[in-house]
Amino acid sequence: MITTYPSTQLEILRKKTEEESTVTPNGTRLESFFQGMQNGQKAFVVKTSWTALNRSDKDFVQQDENCIKFCFPKFTVRRSLKKGENGKTTIRVYANDPNKSLRITICPEHQSFSVEHLFETKIIQCAKSERLCEHLTRID
């Protein structure tokens, strides 16, 4: 489950393990790790990370000065760290059929988004919020 907040905070919750990755508004990445059961409750430890992280060969994070990219088997979540992009979040969904792949771009502050279908090099935009804010109309 992916949640973006108007504050530009981003949270990714892995439903299976309940482990969470968080990017705070200032771009700090927090990673929670399951530690075992304590008094009948799942206990997690939260670590701050500035580097790449592999939870498994299918669930890993890459980070550089411009972005944090969370990689999962069928999708990636990229959170921009660039000034002026306002924590812009891009979700790419990969299908076996490349014609069904999607790119969803979200401005967390303005809750503005656009959905694009990627037909190899042709991009068809099928859904967008009424008005795109300036953070989404910039060209990368």
Given the rule CB under 5 A, which residues bind Zn ion? 107, 109-110, 133, 135
Q: Which is nearer to Zn ion, 52 or 127 (CB)?
A: 127
- Min. distance of Cβ 20 from Zn ion in angstroms? 24
If the CB atoms of residues 19 and 109 are measured against Zn ion, the closer one turns out to be 109
Residue 30 or residue 67: which is nearer to Zn ion going by CB?
Answer: 67
Q: What is the smallest separation between the CB atom of 5 and Zn ion, expressed in angstroms?
A: 13
State the nearest-atom distance from the C-beta of 80 to Zn ion, in Å: 11
The least distance separating Zn ion from the CB of residue 65, rounded to whole angstroms, comes to 21
3-state SS of 32-68 is: EEEEEEECCEEEEEEEEECCCEECCCCCEEEECCCEE
Burial classification of residue 77, based on how many CB atoms lie within 10 Å of its CB (0-12 exposed, 13-18 middle, 19 or more buried): buried
By beta-carbon proximity to Zn ion, the closer residue of 61 and 77 is 77
**Residue 80 token pair:** 């921009």
